[in-house]
Amino acid sequence: LAARPLTGVRVLLTAGPTREPLDPVRFLGNRSSGRMGFALAEALETLGARVTLIAGPTALPAPRVAERIDVETALEMHSAVMARAADCDLFVATAAVADYRPVEPAENKIKKNADALTLHLVRNPDILAEVAARPSPPFTVGFAAETDRVEEYARDKLTRKGLNMIAANHVGGERGGFERAENALTVIWRNGQRELPMMDKTRLARELAALIAERYQEHHAA
Ligand code: PMT
């Protein structure tokens, strides 16, 4: 059991970006490649977990996980997660979910008649916060992507959203974060913290998975 500490644990994990349609041919998106999430899904599965991966659009090869559900928009990701949240023990939010979506996508392709174009956006539901606020929530792990004051903002997300753990990364710099093959994480929980230095996302995912398994077991032993 020591090698597979998550045997029997049902994991729900979001990964990749979301796409918010503007019209039939355009969308608002972000730079998430899905690499970090797919690597983490596989690493958790290797530790014995049964992983259901909810994936936004990516160009990655199929990961070795029990189940995979493909979605496109934040609202679709939200429904896919909420439909399964009651039946999972561990929820990991690696996805870069769009915070806003166009109020109503145009039915036809938007024409370039005007010199300027104003988009009206509305807030998307916060999937991670909603899962953590359930009556008997799963053990919940969030990510925080920040360009500055990484640890401070991550700590704020941990407490404000009521999470068990948060993995924070610096984005928008020369190394790590979105799209890249490597990344570094500051992992924070209520009474501890660990730095995982810059390394390949596959290896980083294994280290993070081991840390999650440790905290998960401690949480259930308490
Ligand atoms: O996919 P890669 O190219 O490998 O890049 C990896 C990554 C940089 C995308 C990843 O490591 C990462 O940081 N993922 C979280 C990105 C993000 O959207 O962070 P955030 O700080 O905006 O959101 C905080 C947390 O809330 C995240 O766990 C996010 O999944 C969740 N969230 C946010 C908004 C929303 N509407 N619903 C959510 O569940």
Over 70: is that where the pLDDT of 1 sits?
A: no
Q: What is the pLDDT of residues 100-142, one digit of tens each?
A: 999 999 999 999 988 999 999 999 999 999 999 999 999 999 9
pLDDT of amino acid 206: 98
How much of the chain is in helix, strand and coil states, percent to nearest 5?
30, 30, 40
Q: Compute CA distances 187 → 6, 17, 69, 184, whole Å.
A: 19, 21, 27, 10
The residue segments making up the domain with residue 187 are: 10-100+119-221
pLDDT of amino acid 156: 96
Residue 139 lies in a domain: yes
Residue 71 lies in a domain: yes
Whole-model pTM?
0.97
Q: What is the distance in A from the centroid of ligand 1 to the CA of 116?
A: 30
What is the CA 30 to chain-centroid distance, rounded? 13
Residue 112 lies in a domain: no
Residue 169 lies in a domain: yes
Q: What is the distance in A from the centroid of ligand 1 to the CA of 128?
A: 10
Residue 114 lies in a domain: no
Q: Please measure the distance between the N-terminal and C-terminal CA atoms of the chain and give it in whole angstroms.
A: 19
- For residues 45 and 214, the answer to whether their CB atoms sit within 8 Å is no
Atom of ligand 1 nearest to the CA of 177: 8
Q: Ligand 1: which of 92, 97, 146 to mutate, judged by most atoms within 8 Å of the beta carbon? A: 97
For the annotated catalytic residues, the residue numbers are 30
Residue 1 lies in a domain: no
Average pLDDT, the chain: 96
If one counts the domains in the chain, the total is: 1
Residue 175 lies in a domain: yes
Q: What is the distance in A from the centroid of ligand 1 to the CA of 36?
A: 10
- What phi and psi, each to the nearest 5 degrees, are found at residue 31? -85, 10
Binding site membership of 154 for ligand 1 (Cβ less than 6 Å):
no
Which CATH number belongs to the domain containing residue 87 in this structure? 3.40.50.10300
Residue 167 lies in a domain: yes
Binding site membership of 30 for ligand 1 (Cβ less than 6 Å):
no
